[in-house]
Structure 1
Amino acid sequence: MSNGLHPPLLCPSFRNSLMRWLMQSKARCATAMVIQVIVLLTVCLDVGVALAVDAHDYDRSVRSVLEERCYACHGALKQEGGLRLDTVASMTAGGDSGPAIVASDSNASLLLQRVRHPDTDSRMPPEGQPLTEAQIQQIESWVQSGARAPADDQPQPDPLKHWAFQLPRRPEVPPISAELASQGFNLQISNPIDRLLAIKHQQVGLQPLPSEDYPALVRRLYVDLIGLPPSQQQLHAALSDPSPDAYENLVDHLLMQVQYGERWGRHWMDVWRYSDWYGRRSVPDVMNSYPQIWRWRDWIVRSLNEDKGYDQMILQMLAADELLPADDQNVVATGFLVRNWYKWNYETWMKDNVEHTGKAFLGLTLNCAHCHDHKYDPISQVDYFRFRAFFEPLELRHDRVAGQADPGPFKKYVYAQSYGPIATGAIRVFDEKLDATTHLYLGGDSRNRVEDSQPIQPGPPVALAGTCFALEPVKLPAEAYYPGLREFVRLEERDKAKAQVASARAAYEQASGVMTSTATQFSDLLAQASQPLSASSRPSQQALHQSEQAQIVARLDWKVAQADLSAALAQQVALECRIAADDARYRELGDAESLAKRAYQAEKQVAFETAQQAEATAQRALVIASQQVIEAAADKQAEAKQAEAKALEALQAARTDNDKARAGLLSEGASYAPLSPIYPTTSTGRRLALAKWITSQQNPLTARVAVNHIWLRHFGQALVDTTDNLGVQGQKPLLPEILDALAVELMENQWSMKHLHRVIVTSQAYRRSSNPPPDHVNLTIDRDNHYYWRMIPQRMQAETVRDSVLACSGVLDMTLGGPEIDHSQWVSSPRRSIYFTIHGEAKMQFLDTFDGPNVSECYRRTSTVMPQQALALTNSPLLVHYGRVLAAKIEQEHRTIAPSSELTDEAFIKILFEKVLSRLPNQEESDVSLEFLSKQRQIFQNANAEQSAQQPAQQASQELLPVASQPVHRARQNLAVSLFSHNDFVTIR
């Protein structure tokens, strides 16, 4: 407030109250003096009101309302009706309908007329709730008081000139000043982070902290890069490395570990919204995401370990089926789009593809332009639908995987039908609807399609498109649109056919043996039956009948087996004919027409042999049914005859089918069954064009978004706080030079994320101590560490806590990849947490307590600190079980190394601290731990016999590992459990 008056004095209502008070005070004051005071204050207050409206109320109460509710249509981005409302001058000048405001005349001001208009179609703003009466009165008061403009009244900045929409440039780094050099800054340091921060520290007056103690720094690096603390051996090796490049060598070593891909894979899975399928798992019924999507998770881990460029990862996640169409290892990358799939509504799938492609890769809230033009960014509603058009042709498909059964075709949506999860195969996307068109609709409702509107062509937002966008269809290789051509499919089909022939031949040979045996037995019985009636060896009539029936059934079994063998052989021949015809048709390896005809005839032969087999089987069933009629008791006759009638009916149907199949042998044709579904031979190329535009070095957003996410996870705070919104309404970077320097660094080094990690973690900024003295002067200048003069301690993510507990206990299973593991096994299974199911219906219990990812959207995790977390950690079955495992392991290792000596408490404590906290205990910690062990032993020794006998038995039934029976071991188990709850264990310092 320029006149120094407090805000209440500037309010007209307060002025009137003051006047009344002064008038009431006349009786106590000289009249002349009171009048002079009144006149003076009235003048001052009038001036104060005017000044207040100009300098305070306008910015606070008028401009803020206009900016929030009006600038979208009447600001720098758009001027509907030729009107701008972002400066007083533009409001006074007005638009097509005249001035928006008339100073000192609120009744003549069109702005106030429109915001108060009784007709909702004419009232402004047209969307959302109308302005509140209080907001309108603030504007009216300002207009009535003269509508004065602040001295610094400036128009809204041009959104196209927004910092994030300009190409990042490597900043010029000024030379280190003599003052900085005198403060010990190394002039030889070339790391751009440190050089830029040094200049900022000098400007602000900050003294950065020294490097962290090396053991703590080694632990920081291990947990940050691979998500696991160093083992005792790894810690000792790092601390004993005498090389001057020991730290840099350790960085390179850790980036080469496969656990790096798991650690950073989980980070990117947050950003890319990884989720296993969910909907109604108990039914089961797939509604969101899709089964077998874990292959995309494994692809993420594998790609990171291979140091695949970030640009290549985006290209493959959006369009691997167009970029690498026959590459089964990489086409699963399209799981990024599969994850957005929603059973009930194709529109939802399209909306999620647009929204999360925009947020994840571009840092743009494209979804805000779904119903209307974006209010802040240069993205129109048409731009939104242009972006949607990239995804319009999409559909899912199942692909067969080597060594697994064919999952069958993807099921289209059928009302009230459940989608059972596929147990094999891979899921991916493809362009099915090559002529799919996109049309504009209003209000976010696809039913409100704009009639007679022309189809909207795919493309990026016009204002941001640049010159690097080009779209052309992609001709697919035959193996991509016809997976049946793949060699493993043929090999497996041939193996299957060979196995079927072998099985049928074995059954035929067995049936032949049985038929011969039963025939011989019947002949022998007939010979014996010709003997005199008095002969003792003469068989009974019942024996003769049973033998005869056995012979008949055996002969029928033989006929069935013979038909089975013939059908299997025909199948084998037909398979070879189909393969030959495919080679001719798709690879031009022969006469396609004649080979197709052969395949057609071979399949007709299969149909005939199969019909023969079906008739033989039906004949056998009828004979058996007829025999059961003869043998059935009187009360079972009706049931037996009914079965016989059904068998006869089945035989007649089989004979009819057989006649048709026999007739089919005389037909001609060239069609035959493919070895897999056949998909379109071309793809639209839309998504590939989108991916190339996103990953172009002419796109100003992509590299910045990646750098921001990586920086956030290294330092615990982002360079741009709104990680999913770098648009106009997003937070501005406090250190844009560092953001741009690293964005250029990333692009100029083949988008290598490992290179970027190396640049960041080898900087002095990353290595700094996280523990300033409480009276450090920097805390008064930059308490929130905006300029990175210290490292910020970070609490481990829930998955890292769990994995670290298992690693310290020596039981972590380092197996890479594979199908999802049920989240209920989070204690019993030793696998890393990344492999457990996580979806919209369930996840590991541990994740709920410790801020696990939200699968709906998790561009950055929340981090809360609550008492319940400490309690949950202490009582967690995970910590209880593996604390006991760790204590037992330490004792077992000692017995192995020194079987003749006892492990002292002092030695146990040192080993335990090194294994869990990656450091030795200080004297206070050692004393407290010794006291804890002593008291615990005393408690257990003093326990009565009944409690000692019952408690272990109860716990053994509840926990995976029972408590130790000896007080000394039990006390150590409890200390190990307690140390897992230590703040230094769950914190990255």
Structure 2
Amino acid sequence: MRWLALAIFLPGIVLANDTTFAETVDFVRDVRPILQKYCYECHAGDVRKSGLRLDVRSEAMKGGELYGESILAGKPEESPLLQFIADEDADLQMPPEGAAPTSTEIATLKRWIEQGAAWPDGVDEVKLTNPGDHWSFRPIERSVPPVVTRADWPRNPIDLFVLARLESKELSPSEDAPRRDWLRRVTFDLIGLPPTQQEWIEFRDDDREDAYQRVVDRLLDSPRYGERWAQHWLDVVRYADTHGFEVNTERPNAWPYRDYVIEALNQDVPYNQFIREQLAGDTLNADAATGFLVTASVLLPGQIGKDEASKRLARQDSIDEIVTNIGTSFLGMTIHCARCHNHKFDPISQRDYYEMQAFVSGVEYQDRKFEIPLGDMQRDQLQRWTQRQHELTMLLGRAAPLADSTSLRPMVNSYENIDRFTPVRTRQVRFQVKATNRYEPCIDELEVFNIEGVNVALAEHGTKLTASGSNVSPNRHELRLINDGNYGNSSSWMSNEVGGGWVAVEFAEPQLIEQVVWGRDRQGKFSDRLAMEYTIEVRDENGTWKSVADSTNRHPFDPQKNSHAPLDVNTIAEGEQSQIRKMLHEKEMLAKKLSQLDGSRSVFAGTFREPDEIRILGRGSPEMPKERVSPAVPDLLGTTILSNDAPEVQRRLALADWIVSENNPLTSRVMVNRIWQGHFGMGLVETSNDLGHNGVPPSHPELLDWLSAEFIQSGWSMKHMHRLIVLSSTYRQSSSFHPAAAEVDTDNRLLWRYPPQRLMGEVIRDSILSINENLNLEMGGPGFSLFDKRGGLSGFSPIESFEKDGLRRMIYSHRVRRERDPVFGAFDSPDYGQSTPRRRESTTSIQALNLFNSSFVLEQSRSLAERLKNQHADVPLQVEAVYQRVLLRPPTPQEQKEATTLVDQHGLDSLCRVLFNSNEFLFIR
């Protein structure tokens, strides 16, 4: 009876069948059979429920995750193992099902613990290996390149390592790829676009020894390089432009992080600095980089329950996402698997996990305002966008009625106003404010255009400024800002007189002017301080001020009808209305982009506060807190420990310093493996997000270590690693299939040929546009939409026809979590909900159907066909031109014959569709 089991805890009671009470219990003879019978099913080998393992002494004594040590020598009443077996009222009665231990067996276990729980050495069921003695945790050793028998093939040390492995299996590398194949391969790899016909001709005819090197240098210097390789990184860190979860609300200010990554890669920011900036960019003049910390899905305040338990759980989830990102992206480790229990495979304890949490426990997820210094890319964009906006202002101004016209004029607008008048020669223009809708008048930019369309009021033309008085604050509302070429409240002039004031510009020499353009805030954020009554005056040669325009020709300002349009389109000739509307729309879009490049803007990035108190949580539940922990790195990998009162920023800096330490063997291994994967389709380690025990061992461990050491020695230069790889003989091999080699190495892990790869979905789309010369190469800024909505629950209708912004590279699209692009998403694009370390390559019918029948491909096929028909009148020449454009080669005689027939019967656009669907176009060989 089970009640007899309780008798063993009562002094003085002797069990009738216990005739050897004083006899010493032997573990092998008496105890292990009991554990094998009742416990091993759930607590031995790879099955360790609740983290408890009872077939190995060290693990059994350590206990599981719920109650600490399971066996306390000499204290049976305090040993959880015995309590769970002997007490039928225990919280976790064991075993939960099946036959229960007999009273004799329970008594044996009790006596064994009383006698000191002796467990002799060498009698474990298995011998545990040291989990820390794993290849990825060992220090990096710069291996000496091996000696090979074939001296004519290697071009750099990479080839020595690869050739040595091939020779060990009696395999040989493939012959060099044809020049055309190599050029397509390296161009797609480095910039994600096809080479042009001119680039192919120049490379084909280049007989210099460094011809290949010149191509690689050109590609790495291209701004397209950052766009291509940023895609790989954004896949890993789960970047998207919506928040995810059920509501999937738009995250409109996430894009500065994407632009930061592109810019950093183009500038070849050292990888150790790249990591520091993403963890602590707010201290390193790279604030947008901290968008890394918050790239994952996140619950918004309205989606979190109002009770305290729900808030605690949501906060835990948000910190967990950060630790997950750091662990997988930088370290190639699944540290987050230790949230609820010790890691099942790697030597990461639950304590290690929560100590990692303590480094980032002061990070929040939300939009915030901050200053971002413009990089080269943003400065170039700013210049182009501003120039185009000035051009549109001048063109639109010519459509405005003259100041003395009786035609209907638009209302006074806080956004932008055009005052056009009969051309007049003058050297000075004065804007006189007589009344405002509120407070002191404010003007963000005063533009004066001459008859040649030049804004002669700009400071760069030597124009001088005077004013009645300015309401100045540092770097804001100063007089100099009224003609600096920048729009918005933060770059505006403000009078110091409530409801009035004046500002005047004086040109370096007399100008024949015809329009003045001005606005309160062309970023559309403010509508107060607007000039309601005003006069625009010019000074004649006698020094007399004469009015050329005023507010009487306009309707009064109406805040309910504050359109951004500076013109009333209905007053314009019907034949010109369509063109005017297009220009107005383009100008409004430019204004939005320019506002995003304002020095002060909203971004979804890390925000920082006093760190939370972090405790180990039982089963990962915030409702089961245990002891408090301090910021510390996993015991396996270092000794970085901070006190609990360490400031928030010090924590992130310490974490970054540890990650990029040369003593950390994971960081460089992980990144060079990602770079290798980007070129060969698979890394030297197949599981590029997991270099731990559950990952796949490297195919070339010595090569991986040599590359890792070279990466560090090069100053963590990613471009240096690209050069090494793509200029190697290993990379230059053809992709020809050799049956004999495949019998030995079916998966080509030894690299006896270059592995053919299908283009990513984004690259296919970008390449079609590039071939057609329709690709918009404008960089940066908010993404263009692929759907009719930018976030929400469901019902995303795809946009089928694109122009202007929609023809930019696909990395600049607005990414909606869980919604792939309807055409190119079929090519295994991620859904941005989880980290995607490597995109799989599937082959499905929907891919072919999309590429042959989608509106996008149909439009682009027609566009290419029209372009080539305008260049070539004869069908045979058109056919050859299509092949040269898409495949960089002329058609074979058989292809020429069949393609000509196809064009005669179905049109040139059908041939374009066929080639866009061809494997020769879609695969890198």
User: Could you state the TM-score of these two structures normalised by the residue count of structure 2?
Assistant: 0.61
| Pairing 1:464–2:637 present | yes
1-structure distance, mates of 2:299, 2:55: 38
CA shift, 1:357, in A, is 1.0
Give how far 1:261 is off: 0.5
Q: Distance in 2 between matches of 1:461 and 1:984?
A: 48
Q: Does the CA contact (< 8 Å) of 1:883 and 1:977 recur in 2?
A: yes
1:603-640 deviations in whole A, cap 9, x for unaligned?
A: xxxxxxxxxxxxxxxxxxxxxxxxxxxxxxxxxxxxxx
Structure in which a larger fraction of residues adopt strand: 2
**2:238 matched to which residue of 1?**
273
CA contact (8 A) 1:276 1:839 kept: yes
Once the two structures are TM-superposed, the CA of residue 339 in structure 1 deviates from its matched residue by: 2.1
RMSD between superposed Cα atoms in Å = 3.8
Distance 2:915 2:824 in 1: 20
Match of 1:174 among 146, 149, 158: 146
Structure 2 stretches lacking a partner, 5+ long: 1-39, 65-69, 75-79, 100-121, 302-313, 373-485, 491-522, 526-591, 788-798
Equivalent in the alignment of 2:908: 972
**Residues 812, 831 of structure 1: 8 Å contact kept:** yes
Deviation at 1:157, TM superposition (A): 1.9
Q: Which amino acid aligns with 1:982?
A: S
Equivalence for 1:67: 46
Cα shift readout 1:289-348 (whole Å, capped 9, x = no counterpart): x431101111110110000111111111111113x1xx3xx2100011132343243222
**TM-superposed deviation, 1:792:** 1.1
Give 2:468's aligned residue.
none
Amino acid at match of 1:385: Y
Deviations 1:17-58, CA, capped at 9 Å, x for gaps = xxxxxxxxxxxxxxxxxxxxxxxxxxxxxxxxxxxxxxxxxx
How far 1:120 moved relative to its partner?
Answer: 7.8
Q: In structure 2, what is the Cα distance between the partners aligned to 1:255 and 1:220? A: 14
**Residues 350 and 391, structure 1, Cα contact 8 Å, conserved in 2:** yes
Please say if 1:163 is aligned against 2:140. no
Distance 1:132-1:466 versus aligned 2 partners, 3 A rule: farther
Q: Are 2:807 and 1:830 equivalent residues in the alignment?
A: yes
SS state at 1:267 partner = helix
Residue 602 (structure 2) aligned to one of 426, 432, 436: 426
Quote the sequence identity (%): 34
Offset of 1:176 from its aligned partner? Answer: 2.6
Correspondence 1:201 to 2:166: yes
Relative distance call for 1:426 and 1:213 in structure 2 (3 A) is same
SS at match of 2:185: helix
Q: Secondary structure at the match of 1:924?
A: helix
Partner of 1:888: 866
Q: What's 2:702 paired with?
A: 737
Measure the CA separation in 2 of the matches of 1:370 and 1:716: 32
Partner amino acid for 2:237?
W
Q: Is the 8 A contact 1:473 1:686 kept in 2?
A: no
Do the aligned partners of residues 435 and 332 (structure 1) sit closer, same or farther apart at CA in structure 2, a change above 3 Å counting? closer
Looking at structure 1, the residues matched to 123 and 768 of structure 2 have their Cα atoms a distance apart, in angstroms, of 61
Matching of residue 856 in structure 1 with residue 792 in structure 2: no
Match of 2:501 in 1: none
Tell me if 1:928 matches 2:898: yes
Amino acid aligned to 1:82: M
Q: Counterpart in 1 of 2:338?
A: 369
Are the counterparts in 1 of residues 259 and 781 from structure 2 also a CA contact under 8 Å?
Answer: yes
1:471-620 equivalences in 2 (<5 Å): none
1:185 equivalenced with 2:153 (yes/no): yes
2:746 to 773, 783, 802: 783
- The residue number in structure 1 matching 2:658 is 693
Q: Structure 1, residues 362-407: CA drift from partner, whole Å, max 9, x if none?
A: 1111111111121222211111111111111123432267855689
Is 1:332 the counterpart of 2:288 in the alignment? yes
Q: In structure 1, what is the Cα distance between the partners aligned to 2:54 and 2:681?
A: 36
How many residue pairs get aligned? The number is: 611
Which among 181, 187, 193 is matched to residue 222 of structure 1? Answer: 187
Q: Secondary structure at the match of 2:194?
A: coil
- Partners in 2 of 1:279 and 1:171 — Cα distance? 45
Q: Aligned partners of 2:87 and 2:867: how far apart in 1?
A: 78
Q: Pick one of 379, 386, 402 that aligns with 2:348.
A: 379
Q: Does residue 420 of structure 2 align to residue 441 of structure 1?
A: no
Cα deviation for residue 706 of structure 1 reads 0.7
Question: Separation in 2 of the partners of 1:231 and 1:66?
Answer: 58
User: Do residues 810 (structure 1) and 788 (structure 2) align?
Assistant: no
User: Does the CA contact (< 8 Å) of 1:431 and 1:683 recur in 2?
Assistant: no
1:685 aligned counterpart, secondary structure: helix
The reply to whether residue 909 of structure 1 matches residue 879 of structure 2 is yes
Assess if the C-alpha contact under 8 Å between 1:76 and 1:157 holds in 2.
no
Distance change >3 Å, CA 291–CA 158, structure 1 → 2: same
Q: In the TM superposition, what are the counterparts of 1:40-439 in structure 2 within 5 Å? A: 66-69=45-48, 73-74=52-53, 79-82=58-61, 121=91, 155-177=127-149, 180-181=150-151, 184-186=152-154, 189=155, 191-278=156-243, 290-322=251-283, 324=284, 327=285, 330-340=286-296, 341-344=298-301, 345-395=314-364, 396=366, 397-399=368-370, 404=488, 425-427=601-603, 429=605, 432-434=608-610, 436-439=612-615
Shift of 1:841: 5.0
How far did 1:927 drift? 2.9
Secondary structure at the aligned position of 1:779 is classed as helix
Separation in structure 2 between the aligned mates of residue 724 and residue 405 of structure 1, nearest angstrom: 45
The separation in 2 between residues aligned to 1:315 and 1:821, in whole angstroms, is: 30
Cα distance in 1 for residues equivalent to 2:665 and 2:845: 43
The CA distance in 1 between the partners of 2:337 and 2:227, in whole Å, is 33
Deviation of the 1:115 alpha carbon: 10
| Shift in CA distance, 83/472, structure 1 to aligned 2, threshold 3 Å | closer
Q: Structure 1 residues 264, 688: CA separation in 2 closer, same or farther (over 3 Å shift)?
A: same
Bigger Rg, which one = 1
758-767 or 343-352: bigger deviation: 343-352
1:749-789 deviation line (CA, Å, top 9, x unaligned): 1111111111111111111111225xx31011112101001
Residues 711 and 472 (structure 1), Cα distance of their counterparts in 2 relative to 1, 3 Å cut:
farther
| Structure 1 position 71, deviation (Å) | 11
Give yes or no for contact 2:680–2:754 (8 Å, CA) kept in 1.
Answer: yes
2: CA distance, partners of 1:823 / 1:795? 23
Q: Is the 8 A contact 1:847 1:853 kept in 2?
A: no
Residue 355 of structure 2 aligns with an amino acid whose one-letter code is R
Q: SS of the residue aligned with 1:399?
A: strand
Hey, what's the Cα distance between the residues in 1 that align with 2:97 and 2:205? 69
Aligned-partner Cα distance in 2 for 1:78–1:718 = 38
Equivalent residue of 2:619, what SS? coil
Higher-helix-fraction structure:
1
* Change beyond 3 A, Cα 1:250–1:117: farther
Q: Which residues of structure 1 form unaligned runs of 5+?
A: 1-60, 86-93, 99-109, 134-149, 410-420, 475-681, 895-901, 938-970
Residue 124 and residue 911 in structure 1: after superposition, are their counterparts in 2 closer, same or farther (change >3 A)? Answer: farther
Alignment of 1:575-724 (within 5 A): 683-724=648-689
Q: How many Å separate the matches in 2 of 1:112 and 1:804?
A: 68
- How far off is 1:124 after superposition? 6.8
Report the alpha carbon displacement of residue 278 of structure 1 after superposing the two structures with TM: 3.6
Q: What corresponds to 2:507 in structure 1?
A: none
TM-score normalised over the length of structure 1? 0.57
The 1:66–1:111 alpha-carbon spacing in structure 2 relative to 1, beyond 3 Å, is farther
In the other structure, the counterpart of 1:839 is 816
1:747 maps to 2:712? yes
Distance (whole Å) between structure 2 residues aligned to residue 357 and residue 427 of structure 1:
21
What CA deviation, in whole Å up to 9, does each residue of 1:115-161 have, x standing for no partner? 99988855679xxxx8999xxxxxxxxxxxxxxxx999962321111
TM superposition shift of 1:73: 4.1
C-alpha spacing 1:977/1:120, structure 2 compared with 1 (3 Å): farther
Instruction: Find the aligned partners of 2:607 and 2:126 in 1 and give their Cα distance.
Output: 49
Q: Within 5 Å, which residues of 2 pair with 1:29-48?
A: none
Seen in structure 2, the aligned counterparts of structure 1 residues 279 and 168 have a Cα distance that, compared at 3 Å, is closer
AA in 1 matched with 2:636: A
> Distance between the aligned counterparts of 1:95 and 1:449, measured in 2?
23
Give, in whole Å, the separation in 2 of the partners of 1:466 and 1:702: 16
